């Protein structure tokens, strides 16, 4: 009797394990009529690598979901960007914002420290940090504010100064008007470096440098080569004051209405 009871108990445990494992891999299929169009906005030029990567991701997601998730991409600030783009996410719009993580600092201040000036000497240091429990906790706080972070590692290079004047020391920046994005972290950093900061939309920047409204801008080598900066600024000072990286953000309300099958593909 004892042997029979032990055998039945063992069989029950085995069945339990099998059924648990089975339930973990079987997912309810997404509704056949589910369809979601998301507008994805960023400031990068068509020739920049980040634009190419985002476009490729959007194409792959549409293909793998059989058209159920259609991400329409808008480069070069055609739609809301920077703070305005992230506000679209927080408000629950069918919108994906691709921005520097410093803009998350308006909602979770620690994100300013994550991408602070002179923080990194190579890409791997940043990649390591965003996998830590510290940053995972920050990501959770962002979700409490309505922001689902799909990625933080669209790295596009170190940011440097682009001017017509040769910049060798901080003293050379004194009195120079440098264009930055509207992020307070960028404004404070370039001010501390000695520049007179002029935040403006990138769509206005190239003509502003050309006309002498500003004396230069800052950005990556990729941007310098593709977005027209090299045509108006002949010198680059490799200050590496920021690691250029973008996160990809979507509203938690929008995310929660996407079937789990499609969430896995998007993620």
For the ranges 25-39, 105-119, 161-175, the lowest mean pLDDT is seen at: 25-39
Summarize the confidence of residues 242-250 as an average pLDDT: 96
Given a cut of 50, is residue 22 above it in pLDDT?
Answer: no
pTM of the model: 0.82
Given a cut of 80, is residue 8 above it in pLDDT?
Answer: no
pLDDT of residue 155: 95
pLDDT of residue 130: 97
pLDDT of residue 202: 87
Given a cut of 50, is residue 11 above it in pLDDT?
Answer: no
CATH 3.40.190.10 applies to domain 159-244:
yes
pLDDT of residue 132: 98
Given a cut of 50, is residue 169 above it in pLDDT?
Answer: yes
Summarize the confidence of residues 102-107 as an average pLDDT: 95
- Where in the chain are the domains? 36-157+246-266, 159-244
On average, the pLDDT of the chain sits at 90
pLDDT of residue 191: 96
Given a cut of 80, is residue 57 above it in pLDDT?
Answer: yes
DSSP secondary structure of the chain: -HHHHHHHHHHHHHHHHHHHHHHHH--PPPPTT--EEEEEE----TTSHHHHHHHHHHHHHHHHTTTSEEEEEE-TTSS--HHHHHHHHHTT-SEEEEE-GGGGGGTSTHHHHHT-TT--SSHHHHHHHTTSHHHHHHHHHHHHTTEEEEEEEEEEEEEEEEESS---SGGGGTT-EEEE-S-HHHHHHHHHTT-EEEE--HHHHHHHHHTTSSSEEEE-HHHHHHSSHHHH--EEEEEEEEEEEEEEEEEHHHHHTS-HHHHHHH-
Domain 36-157+246-266 and domain 159-244 have a common topology: yes
Task: Please report which confidence band the pLDDT of residue 28 belongs to, taking 50, 70 and 90 as the band edges.
Answer: low
Tell me the pLDDT tens digit for each residue of 62-94.
999 999 999 999 999 999 999 999 999 999 999
CATH number of 36-157+246-266: 3.40.190.170
pLDDT of residue 95: 98
């Amino acid at each position: 009797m004892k042997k029979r009871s032990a055998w039945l108990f063992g069989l029950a445990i085995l069945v339990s394990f099998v059924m648990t494992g089975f339930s973990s891999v079987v997912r309810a299929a997404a509704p056949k009529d589910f369809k979601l169009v998301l507008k994805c906005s960023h400031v990068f030029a068509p020739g920049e690598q980040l634009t190419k990567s985002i476009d490729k991701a959007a194409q792959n997601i549409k293909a793998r979901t059989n058209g159920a998730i259609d991400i329409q991409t808008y480069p070069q600030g055609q739609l809301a960007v920077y703070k305005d783009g992230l506000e679209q996410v927080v408000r629950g719009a069918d919108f994906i914002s691709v921005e520097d993580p410093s803009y998350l600092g308006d909602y979770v201040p620690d994100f300013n420290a994550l991408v602070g000036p002179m923080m990194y000497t190579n890409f791997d240091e940043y990649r390591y940090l965003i996998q830590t429990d510290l940053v995972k906790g920050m990501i959770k706080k962002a979700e409490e504010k309505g922001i689902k972070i799909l990625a933080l590692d669209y790295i596009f290079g170190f940011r440097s100064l682009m001017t017509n004047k040769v910049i060798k020391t901080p003293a050379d920046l004194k009195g120079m008007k440098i264009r930055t994005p509207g992020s307070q972290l960028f404004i404070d950093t370039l001010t501390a470096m000695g520049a007179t900061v002029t935040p403006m939309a990138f769509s206005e920047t190239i003509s502003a440098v050309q006309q002498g409204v500003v004396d230069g801008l800052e950005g990556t080598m990729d941007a310098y080569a593709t977005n027209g900066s090299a045509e108006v600024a002949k010198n680059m000072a490799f200050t590496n004051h920021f690691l250029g990286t973008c996160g990809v953000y979507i509203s938690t309300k929008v995310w929660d209405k996407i079937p789990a099958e499609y969430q896995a593909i998007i993620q």
